[in-house]
Amino acid sequence: MYANRYHKLQALMQENHCDVLVFNPGPSLLYLTGLSFHLSERPVVLFISQKQHPLMILPKLEKEKLGQSQIPLEGIFFDDNPETWQSAFNQASAHLNLKNKRLGYETVRLRALELFLIMNSAPECDLFNAENIIATMRMKKDDEEIKRMQKAVEIAQKGLIATLPIIRPGITEKEIASELTAQLLRHGSDPEFPFYPIVSGGPNSANPHATPTERPLQPGDLFVIDWGASYQGYVADLTRTFAIGKVEPELQRIAEIVLQANNEGKKVARSGIPIGEVDKATRRIIETAGYGEFFTHRTGHGLGLEGHEPPYLFSENRLVIENGMTFTIEPGIYLPGKGGVRIEDDVVITHEGCHSLSDLPRELVIL
């Protein structure tokens, strides 16, 4: 699997006239090598070259990790004294002959620390944003990746089901989030979640990215739970909306509209169409119902090793959907001061169309 990824990356680099790619610790480095590093005060960098073996710069204390790489790696090591770091980068630059080379990087990943060390070691190199190369690699998932994502979804769903019995008037958003976190771990999630659960009730549910507070749930509240889990590095990201007892008619109505939009998005999503068409489809349902101004975000985003990764589902995105792409479909309506509704599923595109990895009920559940 890793050898195939490496050879595919080499071909993409050639197509995009990229001599060398540089990676910080993170999902792409893990994807290519199987190695997991935390970003720290010490620089760690992987160079993938078209003409030479992959090379990694890392502290001596991490030296033994090279033997765990799923592709052959050469290493240049440095001591804890920061004054030795530039020398290590100079060695790498000379070894890879970076002078006047086109060097690609991920703008959302490469830090200033490593960037300046590279620039100082190879001031003549041509640095450019290579995110499209990496996205092309990672957007289409293979069978093993999809199996891990399906398992992450199952863990997430079981964790939520185990949490629901504690939900009642008077319990706080923070208490629910804490219990859900514990249940996700009990049901098999990796300890590193894609994000901390969003639990928001009443007026707070009108904030799509709310942080759980000490506010207790009250009768008549809508409340949104947006949560995730991870399994062997791959993630789930789901949202369901609930009600504490009977809610006012408008809140019930927006829940029905969002459900219709969610269903329409899954119906439209298929291989061969621009991904922006999925956003247009969900948005059309909500706009026709008169709530367009209250749908304040894109319809979804890719996911895999990260909770948010390409492709992104906004109307202007002309990227063509292909089999193997995985993303969320998560329309919402948010009424300031009243409450909000979001329904989020994780889907994979197959030859048959759009398959949802998640199957929890999507209707407004009254607790």
Same domain, 251 and 170: yes
User: 217: alpha, beta or left, given left = phi > 0 and alpha = psi -120 to 50?
Assistant: beta
CA–chain centroid gap for 119, Å, is 29
CB 111 within 8 A of CB 24: yes
Domain boundary among 138, 162, 189: 138
CB 106 within 8 A of CB 137: no
| Digit-coded pLDDT (tens) for 32-57 | 999 999 899 999 999 999 989 999 99
Same domain, 176 and 106: no
Separation of alpha carbons 324 and 142, rounded Å: 7
> Environment class of residue 277 by beta-carbon count within 10 Å: exposed (0-12), middle (13-18) or buried (19+)?
middle
* Domain, as residue range, for 102: 2-138
| Digit-coded pLDDT (tens) for 196-236 | 999 999 999 999 999 999 999 999 999 999 999 999 999 99
Q: What's the number of domains the chain is made of?
A: 2
CB 317 within 8 A of CB 311: yes
Separation of alpha carbons 125 and 118, rounded Å: 9
Peptide bond before 72: cis, by omega within 30 degrees of 0? Answer: no
pLDDT above 90 (res 297): yes
Which is nearest to 137 in space by CA: 328, 325, 277, 339? 325
CB 327 within 8 A of CB 313: yes
Count the residues in the chain: 367
- Residue 78: phi and psi, rounded to 5, are -135, 160
Same domain, 173 and 69: no
Q: In this structure, what DSSP letter does residue 197 have?
A: P
- Residue 228: phi and psi, rounded to 5, are -145, 170
CB 223 within 8 A of CB 250: no
Same domain, 171 and 297: yes
Average pLDDT over residues 280-302: 98
The rounded radius of gyration (Å) of the Cα atoms in the chain is 23
Same domain, 146 and 131: no
Residue 112 sits in a domain of what CATH number? 3.40.350.10
Same domain, 108 and 186: no
Domain boundary among 85, 104, 138: 138
Separation of alpha carbons 206 and 85, rounded Å: 48
Separation of alpha carbons 288 and 2, rounded Å: 47
Same domain, 112 and 195: no
CB 51 within 8 A of CB 70: no
| Digit-coded pLDDT (tens) for 320-362 | 999 999 999 999 999 999 999 999 999 999 999 999 999 999 9
Same domain, 158 and 234: yes
Same domain, 304 and 258: yes
Same domain, 348 and 249: yes
pLDDT above 90 (res 76): yes
Mean pLDDT, all residues of the chain: 96
Separation of alpha carbons 287 and 10, rounded Å: 45
Separation of alpha carbons 231 and 328, rounded Å: 17
Domain boundary among 138, 162, 194: 138
Residue 1 binned pLDDT confidence (cut-offs 50, 70, 90): confident
Same domain, 33 and 80: yes
Q: Which amino acid is at 176?
A: I
For residue 142 the two structure tokens come to 């293979």
Residue 194 sits in a domain of what CATH number? 3.90.230.10
Q: The pTM is what?
A: 0.93
The total of other beta-carbon atoms located within 10 Å of residue 138's CB is: 20
CB 154 within 8 A of CB 358: no
| Digit-coded pLDDT (tens) for 224-234 | 999 999 999 99
Residue 171 binned pLDDT confidence (cut-offs 50, 70, 90): very high
Same domain, 343 and 199: yes
